[in-house]
Amino acid sequence: MLKEYLVLILQCIIPSAFFWFRKFCFVLFLSTK
């Protein structure tokens, strides 16, 4: 039960975390120019 709940949370968190990470890297890339 708990494991399935954790998997569900991870499936929600990971895409948004990846999106913010890409956005952060893009801003970092722009600031180095």
pLDDT per position as a tens digit, 1-33? 789 999 988 888 888 888 989 999 999 999 987
What is the pTM for the complete model shown?
A: 0.46
* pLDDT value at residue 26: 92
The Cα 12–Cα 5 span in angstroms is 11
The Cα 14–Cα 11 span in angstroms is 6
Q: Where are the domains of the chain?
A: 1-33
Residue 26's φ and ψ, nearest 5 degrees, are -65, -45
